[in-house]
């Protein structure tokens, strides 16, 4: 281990010995302590200044209007995603990745790749969930107060903020150049699925990260990248099960 004065060598001529400096040890130590304290204080102050700044209700409303105005011209979006689920019944988190496509107001496609691939497709009237590994598919009808409506609303909440105030209590904060929206469900059907739902957006109002906490304690974090607002072919939101697929209708319709 180098002597405690080693780092000070460059500040003094070679003719000055550490013995000559010894009487000043206490004052030098005190000076270093004071500088360390000041540096720490400034760091904490800057960190606090950079933390989230809550927005007033009128500012939240204005932010939502900006988001809607931006999306009105391009009501479709595609992005890559990575997701990690902490499930309370499992020791390790479940990770996945894939691509999501959304067309306002209610069409979407979500493809998960990896060891447990799946494809979830909805044209707004029906929902398909296909498991290529097992050559099986589930088919659901939507609308008319389907029990799945709330689940789809939760799944697409970050991509579709149109009239979101009807379903969620919303607060927001400014974080650096971006924003964070905090959504708390209003109606009982959503409350059974969600406890809290946070959406992080960058300065261009693109969704970068979402964090969902469910009533049972499950925790889902999804990050998005490579967002595109280019036109999406209509066939993206259509699905026909491949030949030989075992099709079930869990809700009987």
The pLDDT assigned to 33 comes to 53
Confidence of residue 30 (pLDDT cuts 50, 70, 90): low
Q: What percent of the chain has pLDDT over 70?
A: 77
The three-class DSSP label of residue 69 is helix
Distance of CA 123 to the CA centre of its chain: 25
Half-sphere exposure for 23 (CA within 13 Å, toward CB): 1
Q: Of 130, 89, 84, 100, which is closest to residue 242 (Cα–Cα)?
A: 130
Inter-CA distances, 198 with 21, 171, 183, 201, 208, Å: 57, 10, 6, 10, 11
Helix, strand or coil for residue 88? coil
Mean pLDDT (whole number) for 226-249:
95
pLDDT, tens only, 109-130: 999 998 889 999 999 899 999 9
Domains of the chain, each with CATH number or no CATH: 53-248 (2.50.20.10)
163-176 pLDDT, tens digit per residue, is 788 889 999 999 88
Residue 34 is inside which H or E element, if any? helix 25-50
How far is the first Cα of the chain from the last one, in angstroms, to the nearest whole number?
75
196: which strand partners? 213
68, two tokens: 């809607």
Q: Give the 3-state secondary structure of residue 208.
A: strand
């Amino acid at each position: 281990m180098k002597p405690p004065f080693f780092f000070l060598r460059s500040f003094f001529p070679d003719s000055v010995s550490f013995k000559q400096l010894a009487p000043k040890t206490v004052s030098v130590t005190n000076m270093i302590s004071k500088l360390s304290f000041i540096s720490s204080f400034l760091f904490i102050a800057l960190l606090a200044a950079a933390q989230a700044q809550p927005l007033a209700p009128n500012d939240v409303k204005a932010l939502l209007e900006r988001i809607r105005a931006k999306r009105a011209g391009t009501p479709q979006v595609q992005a890559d995603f990575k997701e990690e689920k902490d499930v309370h019944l499992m020791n390790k988190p479940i990770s996945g990745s894939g691509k999501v496509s959304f067309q306002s107001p209610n069409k979407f496609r979500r493809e998960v790749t990896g060891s447990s691939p799946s494809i979830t497709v909805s044209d707004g009237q029906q929902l398909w969930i296909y498991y290529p590994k097992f050559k099986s598919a589930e088919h659901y009808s939507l609308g008319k107060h389907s029990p799945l409506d709330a689940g789809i609303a939760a799944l697409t909440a970050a991509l579709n903020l149109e009239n979101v105030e009807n379903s969620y209590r919303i607060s927001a904060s400014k974080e650096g150049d971006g924003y964070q929206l905090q959504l708390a469900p209003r109606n009982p059907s959503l409350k059974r699925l969600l406890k809290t739902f946070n959406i992080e957006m960058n300065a261009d109002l693109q969704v970068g990260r979402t964090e969902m906490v469910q009533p049972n304690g499950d925790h889902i974090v999804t990050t998005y990248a490579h967002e595109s607002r280019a036109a999406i072919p209509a066939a993206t939101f259509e699905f026909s099960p491949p030949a030989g697929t075992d099709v079930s209708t869990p809700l009987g319709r």
